[in-house]
Amino acid sequence: MADHLAVLNMPIEALQRSHTVTSFEPFTLLSALSVVTEKIGLVATASTTFDEPYHVARRFASLDHLSSGRAAWNIVTTANPESAKNFGLEEHVDHAERYKRAREFYEVVTGLWDSFADDAFASRSQESGIYFDPSKLHVLDHKGDNLRVRGPLNIARPVQGWPVIVQAGQSEPGKQLAAETAEAVFCSPKDINAAKELYEDIKGRAEQYGRNRDHLKILPAALVIVGDTVQQAKEKRLKLDSLVHYDSAIASLSIALGSDASGFDPDAPLPEDIPDTNASKTGRAGVIKLAKDEGLTVRQLAQRYGGYAGLAFVGTPQSIADEMEEWLDKGAADGFTITFPFIPEGIDDVTQKLVPELQKRGLFRTEYEGTTLREHLGLPRPNNRFFS
């Protein structure tokens, strides 16, 4: 679940068309969903820029207990400059500083999750009145450059040990953070070659930190549109794109660029002199590349971003399975983060048409192999760093 800590900064003509102005706060919504679902993972975005590690560690631990081990943390820095103003700051925190704090924040949160040994409560007994074994409680006492947090956390170790760590930034420090910390990477490579490069880059870096490359799953976002024929699927996509209002489209382009694009000439190419900002650098570079690669006008580019500008598999169950198999075989992905074009039909197309084809090829499980999100993703349960 993506998240923003502000109403996004857009021209009012675009803002009034944007559903992003109102959304549930992730922990409340995912906690509600935890008790009415049994299998799905619950990935909450939580910012390391404008929150406290004690709060974040606690909420994830709580969600992991409520969901019997299905929580995951999409660890982000907050790039939207408007957010700073909602948290007492006039100037936005610098990109590099945000990532330094994020790295330390991660150390503190995971350290807090390890406050109790897994068996700290095993000795609980009505007879003795003992609730837990104090020798199995660790006081973190972290004192770092950005954070001072004593601990211990006031909740038992999460069911998964740690909720799964998910990361999505693709800037240089973003990839570095992923290599050091992430267990699943949500990314948006443009094509299979870009994906292979990213895959090797992040896994290579992870190995330099002594990590097992299989314990870091690269899961590109992929829009899946299924038709009875490839032609029918393509027509479905064209229909969907045509429904995007231009005002929304140009707003999406503004967000992707981190700059207001509403003054650009819609029928000219993207201007060369877009002002630099502290917002996400990766997104911005991607827009400029897409515009150049495909020679799009501002209008065409905006309509692409107003719809879905990332990786898309558009075809029959067989053609899509072929493409996915190629990505998996060639070391471009360990799986995909499926984006449904609309619901419920988009979900049904995947579960009822695409998944059976993937199962036939041995590319998808036929039964759940465990109960936690970690187990669904084939990730090991982390040891407690303070207790063996």
- In the complex, the residues that contact a copy of itself under the rule CB under 8 A are 4-7, 12, 15-25, 27-29, 31-32, 34-36, 50-52, 54-55, 58-59, 61-63, 65-66, 82, 85-90, 116, 121, 129-134, 137, 147-156, 245, 247-248
Distance CA 292, CA 280 (A): 19
DSSP 131-151: -S-GGGB----EE-SS-EE--
Least distance (Å) from a copy of itself to the CB of residue 116?
7
Least distance (Å) from a copy of itself to the CB of residue 45?
13
Q: Which residue type is seen at 225? A: I
CB–CB of 162/116 below 8 Å?
no
Distance CA 124, CA 134 (A): 11
Least distance (Å) from a copy of itself to the CB of residue 323?
33
CB–CB of 257/282 below 8 Å?
no
Least distance (Å) from a copy of itself to the CB of residue 52?
6
Task: Please identify, using beta-carbon distances, which residue of 128 and 388 lies nearer to a copy of itself.
Answer: 128
Task: Please identify, using beta-carbon distances, which residue of 97 and 172 lies nearer to a copy of itself.
Answer: 97
Task: Please identify, using beta-carbon distances, which residue of 146 and 297 lies nearer to a copy of itself.
Answer: 146
Count of other CB atoms within 10 angstroms of residue 300: 17
Count of other CB atoms within 10 angstroms of residue 164: 27
Task: Please identify, using beta-carbon distances, which residue of 137 and 328 lies nearer to a copy of itself.
Answer: 137
Least distance (Å) from a copy of itself to the CB of residue 236?
19
Distance CA 308, CA 49 (A): 28
Give the phi and the psi of residue 315 in degrees, each rounded to 5. 170, -155
Task: Please identify, using beta-carbon distances, which residue of 151 and 286 lies nearer to a copy of itself.
Answer: 151
CB–CB of 156/119 below 8 Å?
no
Count of other CB atoms within 10 angstroms of residue 228: 10
Distance CA 11, CA 291 (A): 22
* Residue 353 falls in which region: left (phi positive, over 0), alpha (psi -120 to 50) or beta: alpha
Task: Please identify, using beta-carbon distances, which residue of 55 and 289 lies nearer to a copy of itself.
Answer: 55
Least distance (Å) from a copy of itself to the CB of residue 88?
5
Least distance (Å) from a copy of itself to the CB of residue 199?
34
Q: Which is nearest to 169 in space by CA: 286, 22, 260? A: 286
Task: Please identify, using beta-carbon distances, which residue of 247 and 334 lies nearer to a copy of itself.
Answer: 247
Task: Please identify, using beta-carbon distances, which residue of 25 and 191 lies nearer to a copy of itself.
Answer: 25
Task: Please identify, using beta-carbon distances, which residue of 35 and 272 lies nearer to a copy of itself.
Answer: 35
In which residue are the tokens 């409680």 written?
137
Least distance (Å) from a copy of itself to the CB of residue 87?
6
Question: Strand 142-143 vs strand 148-149: parallel, antiparallel, or unpaired?
Answer: antiparallel
Least distance (Å) from a copy of itself to the CB of residue 269?
26
DSSP state at residue 187: E
The answer to whether the Cα torsion of 222, 225, 226, 230 is positive or negative is negative
